[in-house]
Amino acid sequence: MTIDQILNDKGQEVISVGAENTLNEAAKVLDVRRIGAVVALDDGGAIIGVLSERDIVRQVARLGHNALEMKVGDAMTRDVVTVTSTMRIDHAMQLMTDRRIRHLPVLRNDRMIGFVSIGDLVKWKIAETEAEAEAMKSYLSAQY
């Protein structure tokens, strides 16, 4: 199973903020959209960073409420780990575990086409496992 299959189910909408937006503005986007991270894109649509809830919490812990006026570009993660849409889900899960990240921008032909979370991957992995178990039950039932 590949990342493409997840995006086909959940959609390929890309939610982004500008590097010049404040953390307060970004937090409102996360809240309204009920998501855990957004990407910051340059004028050409290239990824320049990812801002997660965790990034915002770190800044608030360090600076208090003043952090909310900080620019996204000053708080976001710039060393962005991405995946291709053809990557296998197991590989993406391993990458997320190894790098201790919960969100991955998905690229096709060097353009961002979606975003997947660890929750998306786990949901699909559970569905795949349940389908395999059901197939095995059906097979065994037919044999006996």
Q: What is the pTM of this model?
A: 0.83
Asked if the model's pLDDT at residue 143 lies above 80, the reply is no
Q: What is the pLDDT of residue 36?
A: 94
Higher pLDDT, 15 or 139: 15
Q: Is residue 66's pLDDT more than 80?
A: yes
The CATH class that applies to domain 3-143 reads alpha beta
pLDDT (tens digit per residue) in 68-126: 999 999 999 999 999 999 999 999 999 999 999 999 999 998 889 999 999 999 888 88
**pLDDT value of residue 16:** 94
What is the C-alpha to C-alpha distance for residues 39 and 30, in angstroms, rounded to an integer? 11
Nearest to 3 by CA among 117, 101, 81: 117
**3-state SS string for the chain:** CEHHHHHHHHCCCCCEECCCCEHHHHHHHHHHHCCCEEEEECCCCCEEEEEEHHHHHHHHHHHHHHHHHCEHHHHCECCCCCEECCCEHHHHHHHHHHHCCCEEEEEECCEEEEEEEHHHHHHHHHHHHHHHHHHHHHHHHHHC
Q: Residue 131: its pLDDT value, please?
A: 76
At residue 115, the pLDDT reads 92
Residue pair 77/36 in contact by the 8 Å Cβ criterion: no
pLDDT at 86: 95
Return the pLDDT at 11.
84
